[in-house]
């Protein structure tokens, strides 16, 4: 319905305005839209030290001084902050041994020196630049090694390059070894070694702990100042002695973990795994054989954030509601990277887990006297014997002793309890740690202990939907 409004000015009709419920307006212009894609490319440091010749032999007559030979070393590195090269005596595979030794015995070895006395046999080294190589980065020779110098007894810097280098040019060094043989030196074959190490950047110093030396001897490279969990191997662990400790970085999230070679002769993490699956960079290469199901969940971003749920198995329908994913607590399906779904009713270890590559969950059996019960083997070595009564648990005075030993340095197992129904239970009184072995359809084997009771392979307490901490050991 329309209405009309009359407007008068001086008694005359001035205008007629149509008033209507309809609104007439011009069309609006479309707004421009945009999208931004961030690209990140990480270029890792790639450095190496390569000798052109690794064996030098010379016959030197008594009463004469001669050059044993010259070894060429090529150092390449793309660290923009350069690198440094260190050297140390390594005779008989012993760090710091700077003698030439012989099967004749200790009395006949040749020490390093600068021929201080013509009556004493000595050997030494000189570092130089190989100027015959085209496009050669010229390194700085350190500590007067450009002159005759004793073979170092500790890792000593011999050369460095502080500016940018690359993988195509490199710095080329010469290492010349000399010997003076005194007239009274017994005839025989004398042998020695010198080990060289490249570290970067140039301000870095070698990690001379047993763990660091074991990694360096196998040409491993540090990541953010640490050797990596993923580079661990049986030969590195084998090079350590019981009681040796160190720290390694998990390259998936850059978490640093203390590790130790424990009394059972195996290398263990001595801190609970704290991997956040929804935030870490998890791949098949850096993780211990994750299942396709776990990788698919990660790729589709269906791994929930901490405290909001849990990736779990349909075998237990209420698992999602009863356990939250809350590092360092994992249900058994998550701990075993999904492989637990196909191995539910026997103690055969599953084929993968969320440990770093090169590491794995301990295996287990219900009985401690079985060799695959690795928590049981550790406990029996710590206390010196299997349980006096039965083969499944330590209790009473035995249990007290084993529990204390497990919680002491360097083992560091702790009373962290377990996670269920949205809360942590028995923290401060109970310790629980997953193994890779099932114990029926609804349970898996675990280490379970209190202040006076230790069961290294129990399946009674450990429901698969419980969130339980985990430790990893090296292969």
| DSSP string for 160-228 | EE-S---SSS-EEEEEEEEEEE-TTPPSS--B--EEEEEESSTT-----SHHHHHHHTTT---BTTB-B
Question: How far apart (Å, rounded) are the C-alpha atoms in residues 417 and 429?
Answer: 7
Same structural domain, 201 and 83: yes
In 3-state terms, what secondary structure has residue 306?
coil
Q: What is the CA radius of gyration of the chain?
A: 34
Rounded to an integer, the average pLDDT of 48-69 is 93
Residue finishing a domain among 206, 230, 251: 206
In a domain, 20, yes or no: no
* Structural domain containing residue 318: 292-474
Question: How far apart (Å, rounded) are the C-alpha atoms in residues 310 and 324?
Answer: 5
In a domain, 123, yes or no: yes
Same structural domain, 184 and 311: no
DSSP state of 413: -
Question: How far apart (Å, rounded) are the C-alpha atoms in residues 287 and 43?
Answer: 21
- In tens, the pLDDT along 384-393 reads 988 876 668 8
In a domain, 275, yes or no: no
Q: What is the DSSP string of 23-66?
A: ---PPPPPPP--------------EEEEES---------TTEEE
Same structural domain, 189 and 321: no
CATH number at residue 183: 2.60.40
- Scanning the structure block, which residue is given the tokens 């560091």? 412
In a domain, 252, yes or no: no
Q: 442 pLDDT exceeds 90?
A: no
Same structural domain, 85 and 200: yes
Greatest mean pLDDT among 198-202, 324-328, 352-356 lies in 352-356
In a domain, 242, yes or no: no
Burial 284-319 (b: 16+ CB within 10 A, else e): eebbbbbbebbbebbeeeebbeeeebbbbbeebeeb
Same structural domain, 300 and 178: no
Tell if the pTM clears 0.95, that is, is over it. Answer: no
Q: Is the dihedral of CA 384, 390, 391, 395 positive or negative?
A: negative
Residue finishing a domain among 178, 206, 234: 206
In a domain, 271, yes or no: no
Peptide bond into 228 cis (omega under 30): no
- The answer for residues whose C-beta is within 8 angstroms of residue 166's C-beta and 6 or more apart is 76, 77, 78
**Which secondary-structure segment (H or E) carries 359?**
strand 359-360
In a domain, 93, yes or no: yes
Beta pairing, strands 122-129 & 171-181? antiparallel
Question: What value does the mean pLDDT of the chain take?
Answer: 85
DSSP state of 258: E
- The answer for residues whose C-beta is within 8 angstroms of residue 247's C-beta and 6 or more apart is 226, 256, 257, 258, 259
Question: How far apart (Å, rounded) are the C-alpha atoms in residues 67 and 18?
Answer: 114
Phi, psi of 376 (to 5 degrees): -65, -40
Cα 376 to chain center, whole Å? 25
Number of domains in the chain: 2
Residue 11 pLDDT grade (very low, low, confident, very high; cuts 50, 70, 90): very low
Same structural domain, 52 and 161: yes
Same structural domain, 322 and 188: no
Same structural domain, 309 and 436: yes
Q: Which pLDDT score, from 0 to 100, does residue 165 have?
A: 74
Choice among 64-68, 262-266, 427-431, 465-469 with the minimum mean pLDDT: 465-469
Residue finishing a domain among 149, 177, 206: 206
Question: How far apart (Å, rounded) are the C-alpha atoms in residues 349 and 342?
Answer: 11
Give the residue from 153, 155, 123 showing the smallest Cα distance to 142.
Answer: 155
Q: Report which of residues 219 and 189 the model is more confident about.
A: 189
Q: Which pLDDT score, from 0 to 100, does residue 2 have?
A: 44
In a domain, 239, yes or no: no
Choice among 4-13, 144-153, 294-303, 315-324 with the minimum mean pLDDT: 4-13
Same structural domain, 193 and 314: no
Structure tokens at 186: 């017994």
């Amino acid at each position: 319905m329309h209405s009309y409004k009359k407007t008068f000015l001086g008694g005359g009709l001035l205008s007629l305005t149509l008033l209507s419920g309809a609104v007439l307006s011009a069309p609006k212009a479309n707004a421009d839209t945009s999208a931004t894609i961030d690209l990140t490319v990480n270029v890792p440091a790639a450095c190496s030290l390569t000798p052109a010749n690794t064996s030098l032999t010379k016959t030197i007559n008594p009463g004469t001084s001669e050059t044993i030979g010259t070894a060429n070393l090529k150092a390449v590195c793309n660290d923009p902050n350069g690198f440094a090269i260190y050297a140390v005596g390594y005779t008989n595979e012993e760090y710091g041994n700077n003698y030439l030794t012989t099967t004749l015995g200790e009395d006949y070895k040749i020490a390093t020196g600068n021929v201080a006395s013509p009556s004493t046999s000595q050997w030494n080294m000189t570092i130089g630049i190989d100027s015959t190589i085209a496009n050669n980065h010229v390194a700085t020779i350190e500590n007067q090694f450009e002159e005759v110098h004793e073979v170092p007894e500790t890792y000593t810097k011999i050369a460095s390059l502080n500016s940018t280098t690359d993988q195509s040019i490199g710095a080329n060094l010469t290492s010349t070894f000399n010997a003076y043989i005194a007239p009274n030196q017994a005839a025989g074959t004398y042998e020695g070694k010198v080990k060289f190490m490249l570290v970067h950047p140039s301000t870095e110093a070698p990690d001379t702990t047993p763990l660091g030396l074991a990694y360096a001897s196998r040409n491993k490279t540090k990541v953010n100042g640490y050797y990596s969990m993923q580079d661990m191997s049986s030969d590195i662990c084998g090079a350590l002695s019981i009681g040796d400790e160190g720290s390694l970085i998990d390259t998936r999230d850059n978490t640093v973990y203390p590790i130790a070679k424990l009394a059972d002769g195996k290398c263990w993490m001595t801190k609970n795994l704290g991997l956040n699956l929804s935030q870490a960079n998890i791949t098949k290469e850096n993780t211990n054989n994750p299942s396709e199901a776990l990788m698919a969940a990660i790729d589709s971003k269906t791994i929930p954030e901490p405290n909001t749920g849990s990736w779990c198995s349909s075998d237990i329908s209420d698992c999602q509601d009863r356990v939250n994913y809350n590092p360092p607590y994992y249900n058994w399906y998550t701990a075993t990277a999904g492989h637990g779904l196909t191995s539910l009713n026997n103690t055969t270890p599953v084929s993968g887990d969320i440990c770093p590559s090169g590491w794995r969950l301990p295996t287990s059996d219900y009985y401690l006297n079985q060799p695959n019960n690795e928590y049981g083997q550790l406990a029996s070595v710590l206390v010196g014997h299997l349980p006096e009564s039965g083969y499944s648990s330590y209790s009473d005075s035995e249990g007290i002793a084993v529990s204390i030993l497990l919680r002491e340095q360097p083992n560091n197992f702790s009373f962290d309890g377990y996670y269920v129904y949205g809360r942590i239970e028995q923290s401060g009184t109970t310790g629980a740690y997953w193994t890779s072995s099932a114990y029926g359809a609804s349970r898996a084997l675990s280490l379970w202990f209190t202040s006076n009771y230790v069961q290294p392979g129990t399946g009674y307490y450990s429901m698969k939907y419980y969130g339980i901490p985990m430790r990893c050991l090296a292969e």
